[in-house]
Amino acid sequence: MKKTLITAAVAGIMAAAPAMADLTFTSLSYRTGPYAANGIPFADGYADYFTLLNERDGGIGGEKVNLVECETGYNTEKGVECYESTKGSGALVYQPLSTGITYQLIPKATADGIPVHSMGYGRTSAKNGEVFNWIFNYPANYWDGASVAIKHLLDINGGDLSGKKVALVYHNSAYGKEPIRTLEVLAEKHGYELTLLAVDHPGQEQKSQWLQIRRERPDYVIMWGWGVMNQVAIQEAVNIRFPMENFIGIWWSGSENDVLPAGDGANGYKALTFHNVGSDYPVFDDIQQYVVDTGKAAGAGDQIGTALYNRGLYAAMLAAEAAKTAQEMTGSSTIDAAQMRMGMENLEITEAKMADLGLPNFGPEFKVSCENHGGNGFAAVAQWDAASGEWSLITDYMQSDQEVLAPLVEEDSTAFANEAGIEPGCM
């Protein structure tokens, strides 16, 4: 009895690795836990785009895509388990959608030779591709986000922020702490006063932070939140009657799930984004035809066109384009992780390319290079209209303050290189 149990257990644990397939992409998703509300649409978008490619085009360059999904629950230990259990299956790129897990994977994936694409999250200084050969964070990173948020504030204040008070409400983790350095440097440059308000995981309790905001009356509040923290923060802001148009979230605090619970009160709330919103693109007709109507939509299929669904779709699109680039460079349809890395490093997204894919004007144009793994740092501001229940872009894509950010990236990546004993250079 005991023996059969042990045998069954061993067989069960061994059954982890799926069969080797043509092009394997992994999705370290989280559909459970306090961050599920945000994790589900992203994972759905990511999966649906690959399903679309398989159904419509027969995969990428003639090779079917095999998407392996693994549930992390936004938990780093489970993330490690997911990484180890999927890396043997020939995974081409990891997109963990968690800054904490990204930090874990940076050394591991570098040692294993598998690229990581932390799109708009993760370690900002991974932009320096000479130090972080295997890590990519194009098209924009947190410091870009912080800078663009301040740029937007400058715009609406006629270019002068001196004497203004800006509060940062942030998730008390590696993710939330990322923008602090940039905001501090920018505070010196533009003369605003910065207040830092940390919110502990998972962020359901924010009464004291918002009480402080009510007392100190900052002119603007910037938020670095995720999961349930966003909804609570926006509700609290409504409760203290904070003017919504002065409240700006990072791109991870700008989904429908975050604003809907606050109802009409959330009208006017702003969030950054590095891609366009809505479902008014040709690709969505294809998704309807090939994915939804055939019953192959991921999850419940009710997220299509939401902000985070679009971001998952965008992430999958960038991964697929990088794979295509790699296929063109190597001249073979099957690629491995090292060739995928090459494809990512030579990825160029142009308007013509996006229009071809049915996503005209969906995101900024950018070109990845060995020195610059982070794109050009363009982002726009979206605003929530509670009456119509839609996000809409209210600005053009703006570039972040490169003259401030470049030295910061240089400084942080050099520190990492020294600490880890890396000799910077292209591969």
The yes or no reply on residue 88 touching another protein (CB under 8 A) is yes
Size of the site for another protein (CB under 8 A): 53
Q: Is 190 in the site for another protein (CB under 8 A)?
A: no
> What span, in angstroms and rounded, lies between the C-alpha atoms of 231 and 237?
10
Kindly state whether residue 299 participates in binding another protein, applying the rule CB under 8 A. yes
Instruction: Tell me how far apart the alpha carbons of residues 399 and 152 are, in angstroms, rounded to a whole number.
Output: 11
Q: Residue 393 is inside which H or E element, if any?
A: strand 390-393
**H helices of 178-253, where?**
180-190, 207-216, 228-239
Q: Which one of 55, 81, 193, 385 is in contact with another protein (CB under 8 A)?
A: 81
In whole angstroms, the minimum distance from the beta carbon of 295 to another protein comes to 14
**Can you tell me which of 7, 62, 77, 394 binds another protein, judged by CB under 8 A?**
77
Closer residue to another protein (CB): 13 or 387: 13
When the beta carbons of 300 and 387 are compared against another protein, the nearer one is 300
- Give the interface segment with another protein, choosing from 27-35, 144-152, 189-197, 387-395 (CB under 8 A): 27-35
Yes or no: say if 26 and 86 are a contact pair by the CB < 8 Å rule.
yes
Residues from 113 through 142 that contact another protein (CB under 8 A): 123-124
- Taking CB under 8 A as the rule, does residue 396 contact another protein? no
Buried b (16+ CB within 10 A) or exposed e, 250-278: bbbbbbbbbbebbeebbbebbbbbbbbbe
Q: Which is nearer to another protein, 17 or 240 (CB)?
A: 17
Kindly state the tokens that stand for 204: 């359901």
First to last CA, the chain: 54
**Distance of closest approach, residue 390 Cβ to another protein, in angstroms:** 27
Interface stretch with another protein, choices 6-14, 56-64, 233-241, 360-368 (CB under 8 A): 6-14
Segment interacting with another protein (CB under 8 A) among 5-13, 51-59, 261-269, 271-279: 5-13
Cβ 170 to another protein, closest distance in Å?
Answer: 11
Please provide residue 36's backbone torsions phi and psi, each rounded to the nearest 5 degrees.
-65, -35
AA letter at 340:
M
30 backbone dihedrals φ, ψ, rounded to 5°: -135, 110
How near is the Cβ of 60 to another protein at its closest, in Å? 23
* Contact status: 75 vs another protein (CB under 8 A): yes
In the complex with another protein, which residue's Cβ is closer, 32 or 346? Answer: 32
d(CA 254, CA 149): 13
CB-based contact 372:127 (threshold 8 Å): yes
CA dist., res. 387 & res. 348, Å (int):
38
Q: Is 421 among the residues that bind another protein (CB under 8 A)?
A: yes
Query: In sequence order, which ranges of 249-300 are alpha helices (DSSP H)?
Result: 256-259, 282-286
Name which position in 62, 107, 113, 282 contacts another protein (CB under 8 A): 107
Stretch that binds another protein, among 32-40, 159-167, 251-259, 347-355 (CB under 8 A): 32-40
| Residue 22 three-state SS | coil
Q: Interface with another protein includes 110 (CB under 8 A)? A: yes
Only one of the segments 13-21, 205-213, 251-259, 262-270 lies at the binding site for another protein (rule: CB under 8 A); that segment is 13-21
The residue (of 100 and 254) whose beta carbon lies closer to another protein is: 100
Interaction mask 147-186, another protein, x per CB under 8 A: -------------------------xxxx-xx-xx-----
Please state, in angstroms and as integers, the Cα–Cα distance from residue 167 to each residue in 212, 222, 224, 356, following that order.
10, 6, 11, 42
For residue 187, the minimal CB distance to another protein (Å) is 16
DSSP lists the bridge partners of residue 270 as: 248, 383
What is the spatial distance between Cα 181 and Cα 194, in angstroms, rounded to a whole number?
11
Q: Please, is 280 exposed, middle or buried when counting C-beta atoms within 10 Å of its C-beta (0-12, 13-18, 19+)? A: exposed
Least distance in angstroms from the C-beta of 288 to another protein: 22
Determine which residue in the list 53, 63, 65, 87 makes contact with another protein, applying CB under 8 A: 87
Token readout for 317 is 């699109």
Q: Where along the sequence are the contacts to another protein (CB under 8 A)?
A: 9, 12-18, 29, 31-32, 36, 40, 69-71, 73, 75-77, 80-81, 84-85, 87-88, 99-100, 103-104, 106-108, 110-111, 123-124, 172-175, 177-178, 180-181, 198, 200-201, 299, 412, 419-421
